[in-house]
C-alpha cells in the first residue's frame, strides 16, 4: 500500500477506506480527507476502481457527476503535474466521493470509463480537448469545446492565453459515418442532414448531424462549442470576486443561481458565514430565477412545437421577475448581484412587498398555460411518449434536475444536500415515472409552483432589517462611509480591490440545484487572490451528451420537442 496519510479521517472517509480495504483493490488506492472523501489512485487502476465503486453493493456510486483535469505546474507540493478529478454520487446512499487519478507527467493518459459510466463520454472529450489527456478505449475522442483547427490545450498552465487560431469552413470535422453511404434493404438510401448550428429550434448554437431514414433518425451526433468562451481560463486570470459577472453568463436564463453556487464554494473555502437576511434574499431570488428558467424552457419548447400564446404568458412572468431583479441590483439579465460573503447591496425597502405582488401574479399565468396546454390533444401527441429516458438511462447518463426527476428518481440537491434554508421549508419534489417529454413538462410546471411555495415561506421569515453581508472585512468590502473616513477600512478596501480575497490553499466541490439540475463548482486555490483552477459542472452538459442517443428512432419533429425539454442553455453548455 502506498503510504497513507495519518491525518484524522472523517467517518465517511473512514468507511470508504474500509470498503476499499476489503476490495480487490486493497493496497492500490489511498484515501485522504478533503472536503469530500478523496481516493487517490494510479491511472492503470482507474477502470477497476470505477467498476468497483459502481457495482459494490456497499458503495453504489451510480451517478457520474464530473470529470475534469487539473494542471499542477505552478502549484507546490503535488505528486504529479496532471491529475484527473472525478466526482461520483451514490443515489441510494446519498454520499459522494472524489477520485483523483494521478497521471503520468510526460504522457497523461487514463483508460476511458465510457463502458462503465456512459456519462463520462463528453467529460473525457472535454478533458482531452482542454488538457490533452489521452483516453484509450474512448469511442469518439475528438475535440469538444475548441474548434477542430485549434492547436494546443488551452487549460494547461503553459498555454499562453490570447492566441488565436484561424478556423476555416473545411476544418469542420463531420462524423466519419456521416460521409458513408448507407442503403438499407427495401429502403431508399438514407441521407445525412445538419440541424443547426443556426436553426430556430436549437436555442443557441448547437449542431446536430443526423442520418435520416425517411423521417426517422437512425444515427445522430451532436457537436457543441460554438459559444465556448473558456470561462475556466478566464477565471484563472481574475480575482475571486471578479468571476461573479462571468458566472452570470453561464446559464444566462437564471443567472442569479450561478452566482449563488459560485460564491457558496468560495465562502465554504473561507469559512465565512453570511447573515440570514442575505441568505434568504439569495434563496428568494434564486427561486424566482428557477421559475424564469422553467418559464423560458416551457415557453420556448411550446413555440417550437407550434403553441405561441403560452410563450407570451410565460415571458410575462419573466419580465415581472426581471423588474424585481433590476430593482435589487440594477440589471435585468446579467445580475452580478452576489459577492463572496453576501450581496452587492442590500435589497430595496419594498423588496417583500414586490415579491408578494409577484406571488399573486405568477400562479394565474401558470394556470392559464396549463389550461391551454395540458389537456390539448396536439400537445399530448407531440410530447407524450416521445424522447423517452428510462430511470436506468437517466442515471447512467449522469442526468440531474428535472430530467432525472421526470424519469422517476426523486433526487433534488435542495433535499439531498440542503443548503441555505431549504431543509426548513415545506415543499415537495415533483417526479414522474414516464420519462417522456410530457413528464418533463409536468415536472417543470409543478416545480414552479413549489418554488412559489418556498418563496412564500421565505418571505414570512425574511428579517425586516439587518445586515446582508458578513462583517469580515478580509472578504467583504467595508461600507463606503467607513472607506471615506477611516484609514483602517480604506486599507481593507484597497487590499481587497487590488489583491483580491486570500482564499486558503485547498480544493472544494460545492453543488446546488440549478434550473436544469446539479450545478457544481470545483475550485482549487493556491492561496492567491484568484482561483488556481475553477471547474463548472454544468447541469445541461450530460443531458446534451445523451441527446444523440435519445433521438435515435424518433422523427425529426420529436427531436425538436426533445431538445426543448432538455433545456439546453448554450452559455452553460459551452462555457
Partner 1 sequence: MSGGVIDVGRRVPNRLTLLQKLYIPEIVRGMAVTLRHLLRNLANMKGMPTILYPEIRRKYSGRFRGKHILKTREDGTMKCVACYMCQQACPAECITIVAGEHPKIAYEKYPVVFDIDMMRCVFCGFCVDACPKDAIWMTRNYEMAFFTREDAVFSIDRLRETKEEVEKHGYGYRPYYPGDGTTPPSDASLLPVLNGSGERDRLREEGIRLPDRDPGAGPLNAPCQAQKAFPA
Please select the residue that binds partner 1; options are 14, 376, 393, 555, rule is CB under 8 A. 376
Q: Which is nearer to partner 1, 136 or 410 (CB)?
A: 410
- In angstroms and rounded to an integer, the radius of gyration of the C-alpha atoms of the chain is 24
Please select the residue that binds partner 1; options are 209, 244, 269, 458, rule is CB under 8 A. 244
- In the region spanning residues 106 to 165, those forming contacts with partner 1, defined by CB under 8 A, are none
Residue whose grid cell is 463572496: 340
Q: Is 66 in the site for partner 1 (CB under 8 A)?
A: no
Q: Is 204 helix (H, G, I), strand (E, B) or coil?
A: coil
Cβ neighbour number for residue 412 with a 10 Å cutoff: 25
> Residue 297 is inside which H or E element, if any?
helix 276-304
Give how far the C-alpha of residue 52 lies from the chain's centroid of Cα atoms, to the nearest Å.
Answer: 26
- In the region spanning residues 311 to 370, those forming contacts with partner 1, defined by CB under 8 A, are 313, 316, 319-320, 326-331, 334, 336, 344-346, 348, 368
Q: Which is nearer to partner 1, 66 or 248 (CB)?
A: 248
Q: Which is nearer to partner 1, 174 or 483 (CB)?
A: 483
Please select the residue that binds partner 1; options are 6, 8, 460, 481, rule is CB under 8 A. 481
Q: Which is nearer to partner 1, 270 or 477 (CB)?
A: 477
Q: How far is the CB of 511 from partner 1 (least distance, A)?
A: 18
Q: Is 382 helix (H, G, I), strand (E, B) or coil?
A: helix
Q: Which is nearer to partner 1, 392 or 428 (CB)?
A: 428
Between CA 85 and CA 80 the distance in angstroms is 13
Q: How far is the CB of 323 from partner 1 (least distance, A)?
A: 8
Residue whose grid cell is 476511458: 112
- In the region spanning residues 259 to 278, those forming contacts with partner 1, defined by CB under 8 A, are none
167 DSSP assignment: -
Q: How far is the CB of 461 from partner 1 (least distance, A)?
A: 12
- Tell me which stretch binds partner 1 (CB under 8 A): 61-69, 88-96, 274-282, 416-424: 416-424
- Tell me which stretch binds partner 1 (CB under 8 A): 167-175, 198-206, 263-271, 481-489: 481-489
Q: Which is nearer to partner 1, 301 or 489 (CB)?
A: 489
Q: Is 375 in the site for partner 1 (CB under 8 A)?
A: yes
Q: Is 432 in the site for partner 1 (CB under 8 A)?
A: yes
User: Cell triple for residue 566?
Assistant: 432538455
Q: Which is nearer to partner 1, 418 or 553 (CB)?
A: 418
- Tell me which stretch binds partner 1 (CB under 8 A): 36-44, 200-208, 210-218, 485-493: 485-493
For residue 312, with 0-12 CB atoms within 10 Å meaning exposed, 13-18 middle and 19 or more buried, which class applies? Answer: exposed
Q: Is 477 in the site for partner 1 (CB under 8 A)?
A: yes
Please select the residue that binds partner 1; options are 45, 479, 502, 549, rule is CB under 8 A. 479
User: Cell triple for residue 473?
Assistant: 472585512
Q: Is 427 in the site for partner 1 (CB under 8 A)?
A: yes
Q: Is 498 in the site for partner 1 (CB under 8 A)?
A: yes
In 191-324, DSSP assigns E strands to 191-195, 207-213, 216-223
Which residues partner with 525 through β-bridges? 506
Q: How many residues bind partner 1 (CB under 8 A)?
A: 73
313 φψ region: left (φ > 0), alpha (ψ -120 to 50), beta (else): alpha
Residue whose grid cell is 440589471: 331
Q: Is 380 in the site for partner 1 (CB under 8 A)?
A: yes
Please select the residue that binds partner 1; options are 423, 506, 527, 553, rule is CB under 8 A. 423
Q: How far is the CB of 385 from partner 1 (least distance, A)?
A: 9
State how beta strands 37-41 and 95-102 pair.
parallel
Q: Which is nearer to partner 1, 412 or 518 (CB)?
A: 412
- Tell me which stretch binds partner 1 (CB under 8 A): 19-27, 257-265, 422-430, 501-509: 422-430
> Residue 351 is inside which H or E element, if any?
helix 351-373
For residues 333 and 322, the answer to whether their CB atoms sit within 8 Å is yes
For residues 37 and 31, the answer to whether their CB atoms sit within 8 Å is yes
Supply angle C-alpha 72, 74, 75, rounded to 5.
60
Nearest to 236 by CA among 146, 157, 319: 157
Q: Is 486 in the site for partner 1 (CB under 8 A)?
A: yes
Q: Which is nearer to partner 1, 139 or 418 (CB)?
A: 418
Q: Which is nearer to partner 1, 79 or 380 (CB)?
A: 380
From residue 277 to residue 296, the character string flagging contacts with partner 1 as x (rule: CB under 8 A) and all else as - is --------------------
- Tell me which stretch binds partner 1 (CB under 8 A): 64-72, 140-148, 199-207, 430-438: 430-438
What is the sign, positive or negative, of the torsion defined by CA atoms of 137, 139, 145, 147? positive
Q: Which is nearer to partner 1, 214 or 348 (CB)?
A: 348
Q: How far is the CB of 545 from partner 1 (least distance, A)?
A: 25
Question: How would DSSP label each residue in 58-84?
Answer: TT---EEEEEEEEE-TT-TT-SSSEEE
Question: How would DSSP label each residue in 474-537?
Answer: TTSPPPHHHHHH-HHHHHHHHHHHHH---PPSEEEEEEEE-SSSEEEEEEEE-SSSS-SEEEEE
Please select the residue that binds partner 1; options are 26, 93, 484, 527, rule is CB under 8 A. 484
For residues 303 and 444, the answer to whether their CB atoms sit within 8 Å is no
Q: Which is nearer to partner 1, 12 or 482 (CB)?
A: 482
Q: Which is nearer to partner 1, 78 or 316 (CB)?
A: 316
Between CA 241 and CA 339 the distance in angstroms is 6
Amino acid at each position: 500500500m502506498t503510504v497513507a496519510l495519518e491525518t484524522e479521517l472523517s467517518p465517511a472517509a473512514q468507511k470508504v477506506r474500509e470498503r476499499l480495504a476489503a476490495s480487490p483493490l486493497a493496497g492500490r488506492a489511498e484515501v485522504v480527507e478533503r472536503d469530500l472523501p478523496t481516493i487517490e489512485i494510479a491511472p492503470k487502476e482507474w477502470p477497476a476502481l470505477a467498476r468497483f465503486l459502481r457495482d459494490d453493493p456497499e458503495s453504489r456510486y451510480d451517478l457520474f457527476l464530473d470529470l475534469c483535469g487539473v494542471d499542477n505546474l505552478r502549484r507546490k507540493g503535488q505528486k504529479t503535474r496532471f491529475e484527473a478529478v472525478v466526482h461520483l454520487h451514490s443515489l441510494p446512499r446519498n454520499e459522494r466521493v472524489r477520485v483523483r487519478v494521478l497521471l503520468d507527467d510526460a504522457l497523461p493518459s487514463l483508460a476511458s470509463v465510457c463502458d462503465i459510466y456512459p456519462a463520462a463520454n463528453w467529460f473525457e472529450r472535454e478533458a482531452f480537448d482542454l488538457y490533452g489527456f489521452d483516453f484509450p478505449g474512448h469511442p469518439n475522442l475528438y475535440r469538444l469545446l475548441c474548434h477542430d483547427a485549434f492547436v494546443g490545450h488551452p487549460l494547461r498552465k503553459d498555454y499562453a492565453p490570447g492566441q488565436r487560431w484561424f478556423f476555416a469552413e473545411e476544418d469542420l470535422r463531420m462524423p466519419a459515418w456521416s460521409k458513408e453511404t448507407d442503403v438499407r434493404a427495401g429502403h431508399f438510401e438514407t441521407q445525412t442532414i445538419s440541424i443547426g448550428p443556426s436553426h430556430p429550434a436549437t436555442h443557441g448554437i448547437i449542431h446536430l448531424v443526423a442520418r435520416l431514414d425517411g423521417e426517422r433518425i437512425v444515427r445522430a451526433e451532436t457537436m457543441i462549442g460554438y459559444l465556448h468562451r473558456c470561462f475556466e481560463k478566464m477565471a484563472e486570470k481574475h480575482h475571486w470576486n471578479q468571476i461573479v459577472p462571468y458566472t452570470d453568463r453561464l446559464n444566462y436564463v437564471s443567472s442569479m443561481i450561478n452566482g449563488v453556487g459560485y460564491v457558496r464554494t468560495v465562502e465554504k473555502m473561507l469559512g465565512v458565514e453570511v447573515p440570514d437576511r442575505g441568505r434568504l434574499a439569495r434563496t428568494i431570488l434564486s427561486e424566482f430565477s428557477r421559475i424564469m428558467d422553467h418559464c423560458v424552457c416551457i415557453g420556448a419548447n411550446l413555440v417550437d412545437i407550434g403553441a405561441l400564446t403560452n410563450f407570451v404568458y410565460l415571458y410575462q412572468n419573466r419580465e415581472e421577475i426581471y423588474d424585481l431583479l433590476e430593482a435589487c441590483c440594477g440589471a435585468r439579465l446579467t445580475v452580478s448581484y452576489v459577492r463572496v460573503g453576501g450581496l452587492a447591496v442590500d435589497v430595496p425597502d419594498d423588496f417583500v412587498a414586490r415579491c408578494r405582488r409577484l406571488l399573486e401574479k405568477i400562479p394565474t399565468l401558470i394556470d392559464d398555460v396549463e389550461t391551454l396546454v395540458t389537456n390539448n390533444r396536439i400537445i399530448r401527441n407531440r410530447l407524450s411518449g416521445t424522447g423517452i429516458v428510462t430511470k436506468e438511462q437517466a442515471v447512467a447518463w449522469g442526468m440531474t434536475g428535472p430530467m432525472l426527476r421526470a424519469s422517476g428518481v426523486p433526487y433534488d440537491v435542495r433535499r439531498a444536500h440542503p443548503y441555505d434554508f431549504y431543509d426548513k421549508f415545506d415543499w415537495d419534489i415533483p417526479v414522474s415515472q414516464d420519462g417522456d417529454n410530457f413528464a418533463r413538462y409536468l415536472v417543470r410546471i409543478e416545480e414552479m409552483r413549489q418554488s412559489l411555495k418556498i418563496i412564500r415561506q421565505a418571505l414570512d421569515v425574511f428579517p425586516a432589517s439587518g445586515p446582508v453581508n458578513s462583517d469580515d472585512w478580509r472578504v467583504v468590502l467595508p461600507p463606503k462611509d467607513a472607506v471615506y473616513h477611516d484609514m483602517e477600512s480604506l486599507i481593507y478596501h484597497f487590499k481587497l480591490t487590488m489583491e483580491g480575497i486570500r482564499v486558503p490553499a485547498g480544493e472544494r466541490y460545492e453543488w446546488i440545484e440549478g434550473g436544469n439540475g446539479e450545478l457544481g463548482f470545483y475550485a482549487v486555490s493556491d492561496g492567491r487572490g484568484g482561483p488556481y483552477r475553477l471547474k463548472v459542472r454544468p447541469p445541461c452538459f450530460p443531458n446534451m451528451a445523451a441527446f444523440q442517443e435519445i433521438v435515435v428512432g424518433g422523427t425529426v419533429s420529436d427531436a425538436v420537442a426533445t431538445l426543448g425539454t432538455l433545456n439546453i442553455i448554450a452559455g452553460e453548455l459551452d462555457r
